[in-house]
A and B are shown apart, each in its own frame.
Chain A
């Protein structure tokens, strides 16, 4: 029972990160009908930047802030320079371009930082402290919950309470009409990419210290988990992404807890297959077919 509780909290903590990352995927999907397959690579790139700053200045928090800021800039840059010019006649075009970005980013990172794992410090202890005699949560888990919770709340406020959020939603749902209403749709897309990439960077900063550390491919498996979470949530639904993330986190935590950690990647794949074939619309989606 204690183990079950421990795995539950551990799963929620992982799930929170998946949720944030899935949220980033959903933001871009809603706005552009592109699944940003480069999101993992982009997040790794900004994490490298963040940890470089942290190493140079000795301040984790400065590095953290720089990483998120770098995500903002990288997202905006990728939209302005590359994604804006992708032909939309086939959904494969965006996928292929994003994969090209993965190669570029991983190549450049390898050239600058090398292809070894670099240790990445966590800002808080990852040792679980006792609650009622059971070791459930670490300080780091609490930090993860707080950070992801803050992101979800801020994004919700942005989208539902501010004029800019309204513009962004309108631009995503109905770009042509929005332009007629005076919404600068191109700018909203750039902003959407920037925000999504920043959220992705934040998720990267949260997850990298819990894994093997910094590496150009450090987010590959996480990307798959988050993609699964986003698809489970319906790919169109931010709430769905968050719930999907938590579900995927729990499932993976139980599986690696009871069956062994090496099974986890296969479990992700199996889960993705089950979701894609079993719940074709995700849990919360509007759209019907898996056809994009």
Chain B
């Protein structure tokens, strides 16, 4: 099976000094890969580089056999990559329905939102509400639903559990697992909530100071006490 996403020797930064050094990883179709690491390790930077928000200084990103170099951010979604940014990026001035429509806007004809509302009944109840009227959990669902409306093959998720109650986090994780199993969606899941992430991930990658410190099966990582103490803080 060929990898869906192949990152090779990626080096990227905001100015002269790189934040990520020589990062390589692969994501197979239908695989959830958790990216773990302390604050400032470079997880968000990794996702920003993958979706084209930050141009890499070195290295290659190949998605579904095609090199992504030089592809503009707004084209990424057409290639099948959806990025839910840190802090969710719900457009608070738009309604729930408008936010969701925005997700599928690039497709012709535009996809029905019914499956999304089916997945998130809560959003259906609040479809006419403005983004800033939503709770944190609802916003996360909206951001997720909006990304799914684009019908991506790879989902880049940046700390979906941030600021959410454990119960809501669990719901979202269950949903991701479900989506992977049902639709073969691949997910690159950045999380600080290590336990939750590893509970649904197939693979785990630990970033430390911009370098890959460890990678293994999710289960193995969860069991590796030394590693947990060293990098993951539990």
Contacts and interface: CB of A to CB of B under 8 A. Distances in A.
The answer to whether any beta carbons of A and B sit under 8 Å apart in the complex is: yes
- The A interface is mostly helix, strand or loop, or mixed, namely helix
B102 A170 contact: yes
A182 B110 contact: no
> Which range contains the number of A residues in contact with the other chain?
10 to 19
A181 B77 CA distance: 6
B105 A174 contact: no
A170 B91 contact: yes
Contact of A169 (B73, B83, B89, B94): B94
A184 B73 CA distance: 9
A180 B93 contact: no
Contacts of B82: 180
Most-contacted residue by chain B among A166, A167, A182 (CB, 10 A): A182
A177 B85 contact: yes
A189 to B, nearest CB: 13
Given A174-B89, A176-B85, A181-B146, 6 more contacts: A163-B110, A169-B93, A169-B98, A181-B77, A182-B74, A182-B150
Interface residues of B, number: 26
Contacts of B92: 173
Interface string B28-58: 0000000000000000000000010100000
Interface of B: 51, 53, 73-78, 82-83, 85, 89-94, 98, 101-103, 105-106, 110, 146, 150
A179 interface: yes
Given A176-B85, A177-B89, A182 B105 contact: yes
Contacts of B76: 180, 182
Contacts of A185: 74
Contacts of B105: 163, 166-167, 181-183
A182 B82 CA distance: 9
Given A166-B98, A170-B91, A170-B102, A182 B77 contact: yes
Given A170-B91, A174-B91, A180 B77 contact: yes
A173 B85 contact: no
A175 to B, nearest CB: 10
